[in-house]
Amino acid sequence: MRFLGICGSLQEQSSNLTLLQSAVSLAPPGVEIALYAGLAALPHFNPDLELEEPLARVEELRREVSESDALLIASPEYGHSLPGSLKNAIDWLIGTGELERKVVAITCAVPALERGRKGLAALAQTLGAVSAQIAFQEPITRGADLERGVSELLALLIAAAQAARHA
């Protein structure tokens, strides 16, 4: 089983990237989590760009998402919503079908559980445009409980991805 981890933050030392790296290390045997590193390099969404020539970075994103059994998105909340760079990536995927009914877990690394929920709601609403199957939609606290929270997320994501395979 292959999952694609996408960090919605472009910060080099992002707590959301740390959360995804924890998921990579906690993944059970038989589950591979690849981290997508091309978010910052994607061009601004403009369908006219594809009329001129294929966009290698966009095609890479589409291929990575298409070849994954599920996505794990960890993203900060910016202005009660999702970061523009993450929305841009999703916009590149909406019209071409790679996200259609895809199993997705969404989370954010937060100092307290009451934080990040508006950003997750905005992300879930955006993913609703492609009928993505949201398997997990909760913030995970940084610190001592991070590994427990990530383990719970992984268990739910694996179960949802297995169910989708057999549907």
- The reported pLDDT for the residue numbered 135 is 97
- The reported pLDDT for the residue numbered 126 is 96
Please tell me the CATH superfamily of domain 2-165, with its number: Flavodoxin domain (3.40.50.360)
- The reported pLDDT for the residue numbered 33 is 98
Alpha carbons 78 and 33: distance in angstroms, whole number: 25
Number of neighbours of residue 165 by Cβ within 10 angstroms = 11
Give pTM, 2 decimals.
Answer: 0.96
User: Is 2 strand, coil or helix?
Assistant: strand
Taking 50 as the pLDDT cut, the residues of the chain under it are: none
- The reported pLDDT for the residue numbered 131 is 94
Which secondary structure element, helix H or strand E, spans residue 5, and what is its range?
Answer: strand 2-7
- Can you list the alpha helix ranges (DSSP code H) found in 9-55? 15-26, 47-52
Alpha carbons 53 and 5: distance in angstroms, whole number: 27
Q: 3-state secondary structure string, 105-153?
A: EEECEECCCCCCHHHHHHHHHHHHHHCCEEEEECCEECCCCHHHHHHHH
DSSP lists the bridge partners of residue 35 as 5
- The reported pLDDT for the residue numbered 11 is 93
Q: CA separation (Å) from 82 to 63, 129, 148?
A: 23, 15, 25
